Chain A
Amino acid sequence: MNNLIQIVSILAAAIAVSFGAIGPALGEGRAVAAAMDALARQPESAGTISRTLFVGLAMIETMAIYCLVIALLVLFANPFIK
């Protein structure tokens, strides 16, 4: 029984990280594409655009990090594994 819970936990961690990465990846792609577009139109405001882009990317990346934290919780702090 305990063995089964461990197998399911590892599966759950892998699924959480892999599927949790899809959304942020799409979002980051759109953000970078929009920033490139803005850079091509207004190269003179490159500083502001790239600063805002980095902060925005970090915010989006946080969603993937949340999934990573959940995966680590499942792996290392699972309350159901004795």
Chain B
Amino acid sequence: MIHSPLVSTPLFYLGPVPVSAAVVTTWVIMVLLVVGAASCTRRLSLVPSKAQTVLELLVGTVDQQIRETMQAAPRTYRALIGTLFLFILICNWSALAPGVEPPTAHIETDAALALIVFGTTIFYGIRTRGVLRYLATFAEPSWIMIPLNLVEQITRTFSLMVRLFGNVMSGVFVVSIVLSLAGLLVPIPLMALDLLTGTVQAYIFTVLAMVFIGAALPDNSKNEQEAL
């Protein structure tokens, strides 16, 4: 019997707090990202080194995507969107390391990521419009739409969570089933497919986060920010 993908077993206890393997992997990835970014940006020069060129390419791509999708100046959102993409991408690809299960294959990690998007959508909406004007957007076409708009906020966050969880978890699940049925080296094509799925899902998660945040911004502030 394959163990349930919905249950995470605690690896060890930190006082009364159970720590699962996904949490350990998450923290290792976070440390790797922070240390990598810090060491790459320590000595920035006008004539870029190899690492700096790769970083500039990455930041430039993220900036361009933000400009195209959100129609806003990327400075405010670069950190959040870029970190979301890089973190999810490395999480999805961490299945390549032997013995590591990607943290995004557990629903808690995806729930946390989706909650971050949910919170920042409201935060940027209120910051750019003000509380009352932001609340007024829920009654935008007419006041009949208020319950639908409220429900939409919840369901789109939920579908964001289930989409990432389902895709990554199903990949891990299928690989483990094929491995138990057929044995060594057979699931390699499926793992290659997982790499593609992981990249596309990381991209989709970030694009949807951009679309949600962009929809909360007022139209006139977009033009003002573009002028900056």
Q: Which residues of A contact B (CB under 8 A)?
A: 54-55, 58-59, 61-62, 65-66, 68-69, 72-73, 76-77
Q: A69 to chain B: which residues have CB within 8 Å?
A: 162, 165-166, 169
Chain B residue numbers with a CB within 8 Å of A59 are 204
Q: Is B221 an interface residue (CB 8 A)?
A: no
Q: Would you give 30 A-B contacts (Cβ < 8 Å), ordered by A?
A: A54-B196, A54-B200, A55-B200, A55-B203, A55-B204, A55-B207, A58-B197, A58-B200, A58-B201, A58-B204, A59-B204, A61-B167, A62-B163, A65-B163, A65-B166, A65-B167, A66-B162, A68-B170, A69-B162, A69-B165, A69-B166, A72-B4, A72-B5, A72-B6, A72-B173, A73-B6, A76-B4, A76-B6, A76-B7, A77-B7
Determine which of A54, A62, A77 lies in contact with B166 in the assembled complex, contact meaning CB atoms within 8 Å: A62
Do A62 and B6 touch (CB < 8 A)? no
B interface residues, Cβ below 8 angstroms from A: 4-7, 159, 162-163, 165-167, 169-170, 173, 196-197, 200-201, 203-204, 207
Distance in angstroms from A20 CB to nearest chain B CB is: 12
- Bound CA span A21–B226, Å: 43
Query: What residues of A have a CB within 8 angstroms of the CB of B201 in the complex?
Result: 58
State the CA gap A77–B197 with chains docked (Å): 26
A59 CA to B166 CA, complexed, in Å: 12
In terms of DSSP, what is the predominant structure of the interface of chain B? helix
Whether A76 pairs with B5 at a CB distance below 8 angstroms is yes
What DSSP secondary structure best describes chain A's contact surface? helix
Closest chain B residue to A69 by CB distance? B166
B163 contacts which chain A residues (CB < 8 A)? 62, 65
